[in-house]
Structure 1
Amino acid sequence: MKSLHFKAFGAPQAVLEFGDSHKPTPQENEVLVKVAASPVSPADYIFIHGRYRVQPVLPQIAGLEGAGVVVQADKAGKVPVGSLVSFRHRGCWAEFVSVPVEKLYILPKAFPLEKACQFALNQITAWALLEQAKVQENSWLLLTAGNSTVSRVIIQLARKRGIHVIAATRGKKDETDH
């Protein structure tokens, strides 16, 4: 199968290789997913550099999150063939990936792939960042990169907690600004 993989830690443009890898064989409580979409996120860059909390095992197929269709079910039959799933698991920048059942989110068949492939990691990141910030109800939170997916999730979570948000974004500089 084709994949983007790396054999050493470093900058993605220096260490990533496109080529053949062994098609994974699912173990007990795993399914085989045909990957349909996988985003590129800051966590992926950190992972490829070898500085993420989940450590690569070299050689390593890149990618930490994705979505696809189950092509081989787990032995217990918890996740049937044909299920559209989202997952957070390393090695998904490939045609296929084996994913533990507990890391899967089964989605409706019509769920958009561009959202499905970002379903897990961004939400967890947004929740963790808001928790670490310890912002209290009726307080203000300033977000940079206000258009990012993580910021958009933080805005929704903050709203539910009664936190006011200012979301700063980058835009084109007005030609009249000096």
Structure 2
Amino acid sequence: MNSFEIAAFGATPALVQRPAPQPAPSEVRVRIAACGLNFADLLMIEGKYQERPPLPVTLGMELAGTVEAVGRDANPALLGRRVAVYAGSGGLAEAGCFPAARCVPLPEGMPFTDAAAFQVAYGTSHVALDHKARLQPGETLLVLGAAGGVGLTAVEIGKRMGARVIACARGPQRLAIAEQAGADHLIDSTTDDLRDQVKALGGADVVYDPVGGDLSTQAMRACNPDARLLVIGFASGEVPQIKANHLLVKNLTVMGLYWGGYLAFRPEVLTDSLSRLFQWYAEGHLRPHVSHTLPLSRAAEGLDLLRQRKATGKVVITMDGAATA
């Protein structure tokens, strides 16, 4: 089978051939149909991600496909099921073995490309806004990076939860995509003063921040008293330094979220969240935005789209050679 992997952290990923793996007792083997790319894949390549699996590493954190073999202790009913898997790694290959407990059956009619784009982005935003920030109907949610992989889902879920959503993104094209996802107000991060614009709209009660850097500082200054700031990531490359006295004076709460980290100590937070999200999808309330679909042979190109910030929503790699942009 073909596998897109790195031999060392910092090395250039390459497409190599490997024998098809055999599942361990508690695992299943999935014939992978599609894999969603994430900014964290870039960090994994550089060795800067919070997890460093043994080398060589097959890249790709989330995938969708069909279970084609089960280990002796795995549920045999999974055989032949269409599933999504958050694996952490291993998704950019034609097949892979993963813990059976991580397999989430797909709603009927859900395409593999949607499923591969779903778990990390929607899961991150839902756990952040619901489990962590306790976003309430009528509150104002400010989303930074609002046209990106996770930011766009935060706009969509925030509206679903009854919030007034302010979307901040770069340029009119990205803002238009955020508006289609349900944003009530739009702020261009390249031309507008974020703090003044948000304050003019009444301030923010919750800030969803996958960007970091100067925008994070401006967003904090635009917060209402008792606001919650969600630290999701640092796509800008700059980790903001938060002054504790500002938190004290305005009664602000800063919350970090590493979505995948819940697997180690409270996996039910993720499984309960995904169950609700897949239900919302089946009811027609959520629709993943996939800007590019590329074959496995062009996985490096897909990662470059993330690196150069040329994608909106998600980039998905398929194993059947399909490509759209």
TM-score per shorter chain, which class? 0.7 to 0.9
- Map residues 1-178 of structure 1 onto 2, 5 A cutoff: 1-10=1-10, 14-75=11-72, 76-89=74-87, 90-130=89-129, 134=133, 137=136, 138-169=138-169, 170-171=171-172
**Number of residue pairs aligned between Structure 1 and Structure 2:** 171
Sort the Cα spacing of 1:130 and 1:53 in 2 relative to 1 into closer, same or farther, 3 A. farther
Please tell me the residue identity of whatever aligns with 1:106: P
1:31, 1:79 within 8 Å by CA — same for their partners in 2?
A: no
- Residue 80 of structure 1: how far off its partner (Å): 2.8
Please tell me the residue identity of whatever aligns with 2:144: T
Per the alignment, residue 175 of structure 1 pairs with none
- Residue 136 of structure 1: how far off its partner (Å): 5.2
Please tell me the residue identity of whatever aligns with 1:143: V
2:129, 2:135 within 8 Å by CA — same for their partners in 1?
A: no
Sort the Cα spacing of 1:52 and 1:78 in 2 relative to 1 into closer, same or farther, 3 A. farther
2:75, 2:100 within 8 Å by CA — same for their partners in 1?
A: no
Please tell me the residue identity of whatever aligns with 2:16: G
TM-score, length-scaled by structure 1:
0.81
Mapped partners of 1:157, 1:84: distance in 2:
25
1:84, 1:109 within 8 Å by CA — same for their partners in 2?
A: no
Q: Secondary structure at the match of 2:150?
A: helix
Mapped partners of 1:154, 1:166: distance in 2:
11
Sort the Cα spacing of 1:103 and 1:133 in 2 relative to 1 into closer, same or farther, 3 A. closer
1:70, 1:81 within 8 Å by CA — same for their partners in 2?
A: yes
2:146, 2:154 within 8 Å by CA — same for their partners in 1?
A: no
Mapped partners of 1:21, 1:160: distance in 2:
43
Q: Which runs of 5+ in 2 are unaligned?
A: 174-190, 192-325
- Residue 109 of structure 1: how far off its partner (Å): 4.9
TM-score, length-scaled by structure 2:
0.47
1:9, 1:48 within 8 Å by CA — same for their partners in 2?
A: yes
What are the superposed Cα offsets for residues 157-176 of structure 1, whole Å, 9 maximum, x if unpaired? Answer: 3235443211133335xxxx
